[in-house]
Amino acid sequence: MVLKDSLPVIQSVHLGGIALLVGTIVLIDLRLLGYALDRYSVSEISRRFAPWTRAGLAIMLTTGPVLFASDVTRYSRNPAFLFKMAALLGALTFHFTTQQQEERRGKIVAYISIALWTCVVLGGRAIADFDI
């Protein structure tokens, strides 16, 4: 029963982790597209945001399994949750396979990154709407 009482706090921390992770990645993508932080190089922004990005990932990967474990049946049958997990896998894979080429990444890569992370966020938001 203690876990059920803690779920709102865990969910809030999870959302904070997502905000850190996705927010820093999207800011780097927006810099690649020329829409933000023009006076800094992409590599400098990436270096400065790296601890925040890693912290967001660590928070998300710690709190996410706790939330999943709180109601495995609900989440394993929820199409929005399954979509979010597929989008998360794609977004993380895409991010970590393209980040080594920060300065050489093209605009299309930034657009794909933003689209993938948007799918993760929207999929997470839709979980409550698709309870079966």
What Rg, from alpha-carbon coordinates, does the chain have?
A: 16
- What pLDDT digit, counting tens, does each position of 63-113 carry? 999 999 999 999 999 999 999 999 999 999 998 887 655 556 678 889 999
Other C-beta atoms lying within 10 Å of the C-beta of residue 57: 18
| Residue 105 confidence (pLDDT) | 65
Q: How far apart are CA 77 and CA 52, in angstroms?
A: 32
Q: What is the pTM of this model?
A: 0.86
Closest by Cα among 95, 76, 86 to 122: 86
